[in-house]
Amino acid sequence: MDLFSIWHLLIILAVVILLFGTSKVRNIGSDLGGAIKSFRSAMKEEDAANGEEEAAASPTANGGRVIEGRASAADGPKAKGGARARKG
């Protein structure tokens, strides 16, 4: 037989209700629900704050430009000074 079958859980629930009463059990349930709700909202706020920080760290967020392309040897600083000698 399982350690926690449905009958075990029902007996434990009945004992808790007898000891604390229905009002305390109801308050515990609402307090637990409120705690879970506030935890979820705090996690969403933290995720949103992390997303804003990452967006601020990107190069395009500060007005910078991202240029995509490929550099070649002719684009280097020596190409401006004159023709480059080629071996042939």
Q: Name the residue with higher pLDDT: 58 or 19.
A: 19
Residue 57 banded pLDDT, cuts 50, 70, 90: low
Q: What was the pLDDT predicted at 63?
A: 62
- Give, in order, the Cα–Cα distances in Å from 8 to each of 3, 4, 14, 50, 88: 8, 6, 10, 45, 90
Q: The tokens of 57 are what?
A: 């760290």
**With pLDDT > 90 as the criterion, what percentage of the chain qualifies?**
24
The conformation of residue 6, written as its DSSP 8-state character, comes to H
The per-residue b/e assignment along 13-41, b for 16 or more CB within 10 angstroms, e otherwise, is eeeeeeeeeeeeeeeeeeeeeeeeeeeee
